[in-house]
Structure 1
Amino acid sequence: MIVRLATTADISALAAIDSSLSHVPHRCTQIREWCAAGTCYLAENEEQVVAYGVLNAHFFGCGFIEMLMVAEGYRRQGVGSQLLHTLISLSPQPKLFTSTNRSNVTMRGLLLAAGFIESGHIENLDEGDPEMIFFYPNRCARN
């Protein structure tokens, strides 16, 4: 598996693996903006897009993994973990955060296994499903 910066030429392939496309109507616009901004990275397996992640510094100037999406057929095979660790290594900021809904047990487990720790939550983004904030403390120890 290789990870590379996504370009606008990759938008269709990224949208094709995004399982939230049906209920997040502005996702294609987001993907286009992430690619144009140079914050979207994709993972390829034999030239097929299998995952993507978005890394920026929009969270109080700290590194923030805004999105991590793995194609359905590639979940639970280590693809998400590999991409997550790549994004961790690419972040130039000493502090790195990410978030997920409380209901996303799979993502929460992935983050905890990768060394992230819970760092609070935000109510009222999704009704009855708080957004859990996670912090990666090992970056601070390295810098």
Structure 2
Amino acid sequence: MTRQAPALQIRAAACTDLPALIALDSVAAHDPRRAVQIGEWLADGHMHVAELDGTLGGYRVQHRHFFGEAFIEMLMVAAPLRGYGIGSALLLHATSISAGTRLFSSTNQSNTSMQRLLAAAGFVRCGIVHGLDEGDPELIYRFATDDVR
């Protein structure tokens, strides 16, 4: 008997996704401000979600508030579903809809999992910001593509 790979779908987030988005977010579990922030991202229309066999498994927030450039502000994958390619799929989707333009993201220096994910998706480190989180600099990444203006 062969096992079928789970079906992964990326789509724009809908208002009805809010409870599931809050439930899958590891920060929202202990910080109620994140639940409010998720609602704001959803209302702004800058959020895409990943469904794995019909279950919401992750989300990405992308906007153009970073010096007018496309920027992935948040990428979150439900802890029990990490390792199924959801983060990679969300990044691939981001690079495909941003083709021909610059795309940036960032992560804390302590978040080595996200650093590996960004590198595997073709992002290169291009800067650092100190002072946002004390003792944990923010590393800036840019998607490495030859067709950037």
TM-score (norm 2): 0.89
Alignment equivalent of 1:141, drawn from 139, 144, 147: 147
**1:90 match:** 97
Name the count of aligned residue pairs.
142
Range with bigger deviation, 17-26 or 95-104: 17-26
SS in 1 for 2:71: strand
Aligned equivalents of 1:95, 1:142: Cα separation in 2: 6
1:23 offset after TM fit, Å? 4.4
In 1, the alpha carbon distance for the partners of 2:100 and 2:66 equals 11
Q: Deviations 1:56-102 (Å, cap 9, x if unpaired)? A: 10100000001100011111221111111111112367111000000
Overall identity of the aligned pairs, in %:
45
Larger Rg, first or second structure (1 or 2): 2
Question: Which residue among 52, 63, 68 is the counterpart of 2:70?
Answer: 63
Tell whether the 8 Å contact from 1:62 to 1:93 is kept in structure 2 after alignment: no
The 1:102/1:108 distance shift into structure 2, 3 A limit, reads same
More helix by share: 1
* Aligned residues: CA RMSD: 1.5
- Unmatched runs of 5 consecutive residues or more in structure 2: 1-7
| 1:25-68 C-alpha deviation (Å, 9 max, x unpaired) | 31111111111111010001122100100111010000000110
Q: 1:46 aligns with which of 53, 59, 70?
A: 53
5 Å-filtered alignment, 1:94-105, equals 94-105=101-112
Residues 121 and 131, structure 1, Cα contact 8 Å, conserved in 2: yes
Q: Tell me, what secondary structure is at the counterpart of 1:9?
A: helix
CA distance in 2, matches of 1:66, 1:51: 14
